[in-house]
Amino acid sequence: MNPLQAPRRHDDLLNYRLKRLLTLGGAPAIRLCEGGYGITRLEWRLLAALVESGPMSSSELARHAHVDPGRVSLRLRRLVAKALVRRDPGGPGRTRAAIAATADGHVLYQSLWPQLAEINSRLAAALDDAEAEMLDRCLAKLTACAQRIHDAGGGVDVKSDRRHGGSRRFWSEEIE
């Protein structure tokens, strides 16, 4: 049986294989974002979402970007400090501030986007048209399945608890 469907070791797990691809394929993008523009890949993701979709609340941005709201809050503070996004206070009837890309944020997006698209194109060039279409369909199908699993609780009865030490609460301090 295919190791993707019946993994025999941890390197066969789908998430590990995707992570390896993300690590290798994403390295040039990370170097470009951080070395060329002084922003992290997550900051880029948030800025791109704001430029492409328009102003939204931080919770809407977190959902839109598929990022934990706590991570969004910290990154937004950094993007505001870099003058790439701004917080517009809630007006009448608004209970939350809207986050929007600044003019500088739009300029950075317009400069960085074509370069990231080129990196993506070089990676995707490994596939012919039929393979690329199939991969696109497979990714959409896997994402929809993962969303259903996530929405149903993941089939795991315990929750992560990073706020209170995560795995450290199971292991003695001697290990650290």
Residue-wise pLDDT for 135-149, tens only, equals 999 999 999 999 999
Q: Which residues contact 3 (CB under 8 A, 6 or more apart)?
A: 12
Give the per-residue pLDDT at 64.
Answer: 93
The alpha carbon dihedral of 131, 133, 137, 139 has a sign of positive
Average pLDDT (151-167) is 72
pLDDT at 70: 86
The answer, yes or no, to whether residue 93 has pLDDT greater than 80, is no
Handedness of CA 15, 19, 21, 22 (dihedral sign): positive
Q: Calculate mean pLDDT across residues 91-112.
A: 86
- Res 22: pLDDT: 92
Give me the chain's average pLDDT, please.
89
Q: With 70 as the cut, is the pLDDT of residue 127 above it? A: yes
**What does the pLDDT read at residue 153?**
84
What residues does each domain of the chain span?
10-152
pLDDT tens, position by position, 54-77: 999 999 999 999 998 888 999 999
What's the mean pLDDT in 13-17?
92
Confidence of residue 90 (pLDDT cuts 50, 70, 90): low
User: What pTM does this model have?
Assistant: 0.80
Task: Give the mean pLDDT of 113-134.
Answer: 97
For the structural domain made of 10-152, what CATH number should be given?
A: 1.10.10.10
Q: How far apart are CA 91 and CA 112, in angstroms?
A: 32
- At residue 150, the pLDDT reads 86
